[in-house]
Structure 1
Amino acid sequence: MQVDALDRVIKNAIDVMENSKYQVFEICESVRAEREALNNELQQVIEETTKTIDMVDRTESEYRRSRIRLTEVSRDFKRFNEEDIRAAYEAATQLQAQLAIYREKELHLKARRDDLQKRLKSVDKQLERAEGLVSQLNVVLEYLSGDLNQVTRLLESAKNRQLLGLKIILAQEEERKRIAREIHDGLAQNLANIVLRTEIAERMMMKQAFNAVKDELVDLKGQVRGGIEEVRKIIFNLRPMALDDLGLVPTLRKFIQDYEEKHKIRTRFEMAGKETRLPSGMEVAIFRLVQEAFSNVLKHAQASHVALEMTYQQQMVKITVTDNGVGFAADNIDRKITKGSHYGLIGMRERVELLEGRLDIQSDIGAGTKISMVIPIKSDAKEE
């Protein structure tokens, strides 16, 4: 009865959070629409400001020439009569009035541009907070929507739960450090260099060295593209978008292809059975298992070839990763894992156990390593 009561409470909480998630999602869409409108208006204001600045520059030049003309006409009474003087004076006065109007318009447009940029930053912050709230709600809903019996079993062992939580926290911290290093060494340096090159181009434009500015902008465009590629790599490492759109097998094919190109280690991928879409959480877990296995090969195996074999069966998925590296004494591996000296294998075994699967390791010194993982597929999971 207590479990049933807890189940009802969780279902009520899920209903409330689902409604809240959709409300926050509607807010996100509204903020996105506002951001798009502000951004379009900002681009128009920037274009109009640029045109107005050009008009100010041209009018200033014409006004200076008219002043010089007025001075010449006013001094030489022999060559110019009163009509010439009046015409020169009227032209200078008209240009002066136009210049004042253009300058006033320039100030107004710059103020409007600055205001739009501030509003755009504020909207970006609102959108970021709203998207973060949706993400948090999704995480909570994913936990609450899980199997209540599995939650009850986990609650029976507080000690194991605490140890698992600590290891998850350590893994998260290591991932944060890795991402911070990637951003600092790649994207942050790239952006700093882009800022510097932009300042150089700005100085060149002031000196009207347009050919040099053109070359500088070409280099700058290449650096921006490199920064975009770096961001895409970081995003893929965090969560491959293809996993949700295309499924597990195409994502794994792309992963091992990139792995081979980046690390110059020959790879092979073979699949047997009928490919079946699995629940999102299971596909993510299997992808991370393969990712960790290939990472271990790169760090420790000194291999020149690594193969991934994946077999879909009615009740399970079998994943095998084989390399031709230096290997190790497999008879001592369980003792080493127990002592905590193989953190990669620890994480893999814990992930497999959370999926109620089995992990086997075959290796010998000088004979390479073979890691086999069997993940059961429940009937209700396939229906999802």
Structure 2
Amino acid sequence: MDYRVNEIDQVIQNAISVMEDSKIQVFEICESARKELQTLGQELEVVLKETTDTIDKVDHLERDYRLARIRLTEVSRDFVRFSEIDIKSAYEKATQLQLDLMVYREKENYLKARRDDLQKRVKNVSLSIERAETIGSQMNVVLQYLSGDLNQVTRILESAKNRQLIGLKIILAQEDERKRIAREIHDGPAQSLANLVLRTELAERMLETKDMEVIRSELIDLKGQIRSGLGEIRKIIFNLRPMALDDLGLVPTLRKFVQDFEENTRIRSKFETSGKERRLSSAMEAAMFRMVQEAYSNALKHAQPTYVKVEITFLENEVHLFIEDNGIGFHTDLVESRVRTHSHFGLIGMRERVDLLQGNLEIESVAGQGTKIRIQVPTNRDMKGDEG
């Protein structure tokens, strides 16, 4: 066993080294992207100002050119009042204004194209920074686990009695990471988007005196897109960690989830509970909720149901979940083979969670006759370590 522990330790140390190097590279990429974003932002600010000035200049030149053409028409018709010098002067002025107008129109088109390109690049770089930060956070979580006490992990692995405790700790860590990401999105991008809405409203008011309807229309559209993105971020925050799960527990959260599912999908849904309802450990409640969530997601994506039902039963030492739909069903043998070859990720996630909890998962389905999922999870385990 010591020899195997040493081998495992060496593998983990190598993995840690690779992860540390990769984390540094991700950090450098992120920093480089932030510098690029700052440069692009400064350049975009200059281009926006120059675009506004050029549009104003084009407006002035168009007005002056119209007046110059009117003047040229007047002096050309009245040879008595105006001399040849007057006619020549009016013609030269109109010609020069026409040339200037052509030049500035070309400049306006170039600046608009440049502005659109810079805005697109700013958006892409911002997305890259967000992805890099997410990857960095995930790598930190992995490093924390890889850097733990290997001997302690080995002793725990040797004890079948504590197997469920390991699973619960892993699930709890996943849920903690989800809560952290939810906080970061709320405090970061969500606040930034809200601020951008205020800035666009301010820009609208500033443009009111310049009669620039096209730019105002673009700003209004931008404000709508930002508000839409803000709604999506808030939706992501809820999906990452429903607050009701911590505050109210599993049953109220599932009931609300089923109600929302029915409202959003127009698929008739039903939630039932039996037995003496009680609170479970935070990790176990999170795992049970995720399994129901995954089952409903699978039904929506693949089963085409008109009815979905979930029932939770509390027994003395177990909790049972029963999820049923009247969808198109499938051949269980075919899906089981896909699970074994890792090509059916929804069922893989459910089976892994059940295995970590030392539970049992049964799937019953026939093509054209819907699907039934039965999950049994023991609760007579020592749960004290899962909150730490």
Q: TM-score, normalised by structure 1?
A: 0.51
- Alignment length (residue pairs): 306
2:386 partner letter = A
> Is 1:78 matched up with 2:80?
yes
> How far did residue 66 of structure 1 move?
0.4
Is 2:246 the partner of 1:241?
Answer: no
2:269 to 261, 266, 271: 266
Whether 1:382 aligns to 2:358 is no
User: Which AA in structure 2 matches 1:291?
Assistant: Q
1:170-221 residue CA offsets vs partner (Å, 9 max, x unmatched) = xxxxxxxxxxxxxxxxxxxxxxxxxxxxxxxxxxxxxxxx99xx8xx99x99
Q: Using a 3 Å threshold, how does the CA distance of structure 1 residues 370 and 47 change in structure 2: closer, same or farther?
A: same
Return the alpha-carbon distance in structure 2 between the equivalents of residues 245 and 116 of structure 1: 42
Change (3 A) 1:142 1:63: same
The answer for the alignment partner of 1:31 in structure 2 is 33
- Give the letter aligned to residue 358 of structure 2: G
Q: 1:358 to 1:103 in 2, by over 3 A?
A: closer
Letter aligned with residue 360 of structure 2: L
Question: More deviation in 295-304 or 133-142?
Answer: 295-304
Report the secondary structure of 2:241's partner residue. helix
Offset of 1:290 from its aligned partner? 1.4
How far apart in 1 are the matches of 2:244 and 2:137? 18
Could you say which residue in structure 2 is the equivalent of 1:291?
Answer: 293
Contact 1:243–1:284 under 8 Å retained in 2: no
Question: How far apart in 1 are the matches of 2:105 and 2:297?
Answer: 61
- Classify 1:152/1:227 alpha carbon distance in 2 versus 1 (closer, same or farther; 3 Å): farther
Question: Closer, same or farther in 2 for the Cα pair 1:311/1:228, shift >3 Å?
Answer: farther
CA contact (8 A) 1:14 1:141 kept: yes
Aligned partners of 1:349 and 1:116: how far apart in 2?
44
Cα 1:103–1:137 change in 2 (3 A) is: same
Contact 2:37–2:122 under 8 Å retained in 1: yes
Structure 1 gap segments, 5+ residues each: 155-209, 327-335
Instruction: Please point out which of 109, 115, 118 is paired with 1:116.
Output: 118
Post-superposition offset of 1:41: 4.5
Pairwise CA distance, 1:73: 1.2
> What one-letter code is carried by the residue in structure 1 that aligns with 2:47?
V
Give the match's secondary structure for 1:255: helix
CA spacing shift, 1:71–1:359, aligned 2, 3 Å? same
SS at match of 1:240: helix
Q: Distance in 2 between matches of 1:138 and 1:244?
A: 25
One-letter amino acid matched to 1:321 = F
One of 3, 10, 13 as aligned partner of 2:12: 10
> Is the CA contact (8 Å cut-off) linking 1:63 and 1:92 kept in structure 2?
yes
| Inter-partner Cα distance in structure 2 for 1:110 and 1:30 | 27
> Is 1:317–1:377's contact at 8 Å kept on the other side of the alignment?
no
Offset of residue 355 of structure 1: 0.5
Name the Cα RMSD after superposition. 6.1
Cα distance change, pair 56–342 in 1 and its aligned pair in 2 (3 A)? closer
Using structure 2 for the length normalisation, give the TM-score.
Answer: 0.51
TM-aligned CA distance change 1:312 to 1:90, over 3 Å: farther
**Aligned match of 1:55:** 57
Q: After superposition, where does 1:1-384 map in structure 2 within 5 Å?
A: 1-2=2-3, 3-4=5-6, 6-7=8-9, 10=12, 13-14=15-16, 17-18=19-20, 21=23, 24-25=26-27, 27-28=29-30, 31-32=33-34, 34-35=36-37, 38-39=40-41, 41-42=43-44, 45-46=47-48, 48-49=50-51, 52-53=54-55, 55-80=57-82, 88=90, 92=94, 95=97, 99=101, 102-103=104-105, 106=108, 109-110=111-112, 112-113=114-115, 116=118, 120=122, 123=125, 127=129, 130=132, 134=136, 137=139, 141=143, 144=146, 240-242=239-241, 249=250, 252=254, 255-261=257-263, 262-268=265-271, 272-274=277-279, 276-278=281-283, 285-294=287-296, 306-309=309-312, 318=319, 320-321=321-322, 340=336, 347=348, 350-359=351-360, 371-374=375-378, 378-383=383-388
Are the structure 2 counterparts of residues 22 and 43 from structure 1 closer, same or farther at C-alpha, using a change threshold of 3 Å? same
1:245–1:338 Cα change, 3 Å: same
- Report percent identity of matched pairs: 41
Aligned to 2:174: none
| 2: CA distance, partners of 1:295 / 1:243 | 16
> Structure 2: 5+ residue runs without aligned partners?
158-212
Asked if the contact 1:305/1:324 (under 8 Å) is kept, the reply is yes
When residues 235 and 107 of structure 1 are mapped into structure 2, their CA distance, relative to the original with a 3 A threshold, is same
Secondary structure (helix, strand or coil) at the match of 2:81 reads coil
Please tell me whether the aligned partners of residues 266 and 305 of structure 1 are also in contact (alpha carbons under 8 angstroms): yes
